[in-house]
Structure 1
Amino acid sequence: MFDDLDASLAATLDDPAAPAPVRSADVSFAVPDKSFAPSQATLNLFLHEVEENRALRDDTPVTERVAQGYLTRRPAVRVDCTYLITAWSTKTGGLQSAEEHQILGLTLQWLCRFPVLDAGHLQGLLQSPPQPYPVTINVAQRREGQSIGEFWTALGIAPRPALSLTVTLATVPFPESRTDPQVTAVQLRGGLVGDPVLRGRVLTSALDAVPAATVQLMEAGLSTGVDALGGFSFTDVPFGAYTLTVQTTGNADTTRHVDYAADAQVHDVILTGP
């Protein structure tokens, strides 16, 4: 992921519309410590910090329409990748400072043109599969209280002009997903608290109605046939636990235990097999 981000930033800096000094400078992602000695004018992008962007965290599952129904997966994690950008010249004295300042200033101007990385510059896994969110860029913004001096001390080099670049990527650490079938119909069935009825439907495993079945309410010693939609009902039955037994021609009986109550009056029976 980070190597693809490096390549994407290099492609951005090598864009034909970029300023000539920026485009002609070499781009390095090496650690700019005291051993760093480029042989030509160079832009160094040092990736020094990677952390989750908690302000963009969203734990809401992502759902999208697919041919089989709806695909649900966990959302991507948004990650801030922060670079320290410095310019390096092989010249000496004032000419060195002038070239470094020119390259760094033009780089700042060029990168500020991109609130998000252009899709045409994205490389590798940032391009395919495509990022679920735009790859945003923040240039020359440092967090409050953050000191750049610690970098120069750690790198063992003299302080030099630098600017920060933060790119926000999305990474998908949870490849698992679930596909749910499309809802093709909705049926609302209820009951009255003051006039309760134990009711339901006899359905196949594909949720199709079984129009020829007999339903027995075992504990009450009652039996009834189903209608054309597989519906059945038992009136004047007190609330409680019951056993529903469904009989169909040529098939084994199917039994379901139900708790019949004022707020649980509808109980379907799904046949599990032939």
Structure 2
Amino acid sequence: MFADLDATLRAILDDPAAPAPVRAAEVSFDPPDRDFTPGQATVNLFLHEVVENRGLRETGPFVERDGPGEAAGYRFTAPPLRVDCTYLVTAWSARTREEKTEEEHTLLGTALLWLARFVVVDDRFLQGTLADPPQPYPLSLTVAQTREHPGAGEFWSALGVAPRPAFSLTVTVSLQPVEDEAEFPAVQEIHPVMVSRTDPVLTGRVLDAALAPVPGAQVTVVEAGRDTTADATGRFTVAGLAFRRYTLRVVAGTHDESRTVDYGAASQVHDMVLPDS
């Protein structure tokens, strides 16, 4: 992903509409240390910090249709991780003395003004995994928004070079955590269930892990010693029970599942969903 982000930034700097000094310069992502000695004018972008943007954090899942048409189901995925990738941008010249400083300052300022025009990265610049699959949010881009911290001198010392003019470039990207997706079928039918407060029944449906009905499942109200069989739609009903807590036991094929339910005037419907085999 970071290599694709590098390629995206390179595409912005190589764009035909970019200023001539920027287009003519080499673009590098190498650490600007003592061994970095480019042989021509170069814009260096050094990725030195990757942190989550907590202000953009989402907690709810993403829900997407799993295909076209009414028969399509739904896919639930974790929300993307919004990450700020910060580069240190410097300009380098192969010239000497005054010409070197002049070329570096001109190139750095021109690159700053060119990058500052992009509030978000245009889709035409996106490369690799940043383009396909599409990012759920546009890639925001900010320049010169981070002040050097007190340890900036140590940063340059660690690289083994003298401090030099630079500006920050931060791109916010979305990363999808690697995890299993939960898929649910679309609702095909709705079966209203009428319940009565004066003549109540304990009712519900036996469903498999895909929420399909399980006809013929044996349902037992353990404490009452009452048995019944689910019909073709997975529906079961047991009448004549007092309001209280019961244990429902379902036996269907290799499944033998139990669940405690609170049966009352306002809670007469209790579905039983069987796990995957």
TM-score if structure 1 supplies the norm length?
0.78
Letter aligned with residue 207 of structure 1: P
2: distance between equivalents of 1:179 and 1:116?
32
Q: Which moved more, 1:183-192 or 1:105-114?
A: 183-192
Matched, 1:51 2:43: no
| Cα distance change of structure 1 residues 112 and 191 upon mapping to structure 2, 3 Å threshold | same
Q: Determine if contact 1:19/1:106 at 8 Å carries over to the other structure.
A: yes
> What does residue 200 of structure 1 align with?
203
* Distance change >3 Å, CA 255–CA 175, structure 1 → 2: closer
Which structure 2 residues correspond to residues 52-91 of structure 1 after superposition, within 5 A?
52-67=52-67, 68-91=72-95
Out of 243, 266, 269, which is 2:269 matched to?
266
Tell me which residue corresponds to 1:249. none
Two-structure CA RMSD over aligned residues (Å): 3.8
Residues 267 and 75 (structure 1), Cα distance of their counterparts in 2 relative to 1, 3 Å cut: closer
* Alignment partner of 1:234 out of 219, 236, 239: 239
Residue aligned with 1:138, SS: strand
Q: How far does residue 29 in structure 1 lie from its aligned partner after superposition?
A: 0.9
**Residues 207 and 234, structure 2, Cα contact 8 Å, conserved in 1:** no
Letter in 2 for 1:200: T
Amino acid at match of 1:54: R
Give yes or no for contact 1:198–1:260 (8 Å, CA) kept in 2. no
Structure 1 residue 120: Cα displacement: 1.2
Q: CA deviation at 1:121?
A: 1.2
Q: Give CA-to-partner distance per residue, 1:203-260, whole Å, 9 cap, x none.
A: 78633989xxxx9989588999x8x99675625x4235487999xxxxxxx9988756
> How far, CA to CA, are the matches of 2:268 and 2:126 in structure 1?
57
State whether residues 190 and 266 of structure 1, in contact with CA within 8 Å, keep that contact through their aligned partners in structure 2. Answer: no
Matches within 5 A, 1:52-131: 52-67=52-67, 68-131=72-135
Aligned length: 262
Distance in 2 separating the partners of 1:53 and 1:154? 27
Report deviation, 1:9: 0.7
5 Å-filtered alignment, 1:116-265, equals: 116-143=120-147, 145=149, 148-189=152-193, 191=195, 193=197, 195-200=198-203, 206-207=212-213, 219=224, 232=237, 234-235=239-240, 237-240=241-244, 241=246, 261-262=263-264, 263-265=266-268
Partners of 1:221 and 1:44 lie apart in 2 by 77
Question: Quick one: structure 1 residues 149 and 196, their matched pair in 2 at CA, closer, same or farther if it must change by over 3 Å?
Answer: farther
When residues 171 and 244 of structure 1 are mapped into structure 2, their CA distance, relative to the original with a 3 A threshold, is closer
| Structure 2: segments with no counterpart, 5+ residues | none
Q: Percent identity?
A: 46
Indicate the residue corresponding to 1:25 in structure 2: 25
Q: TM-score, normalised by structure 2?
A: 0.77
Matched residues in 1 for 2:178 and 2:166: separation?
Answer: 36
Name the larger-Rg structure.
1
**Secondary structure of 1:79's partner?**
strand
The answer as to whether partners of 2:93 and 2:104 remain within 8 angstroms in 1 is yes
Q: Give the Cα–Cα distance (whole angstroms) in 1 for the partners of residues 95 and 273 of structure 2.
A: 82
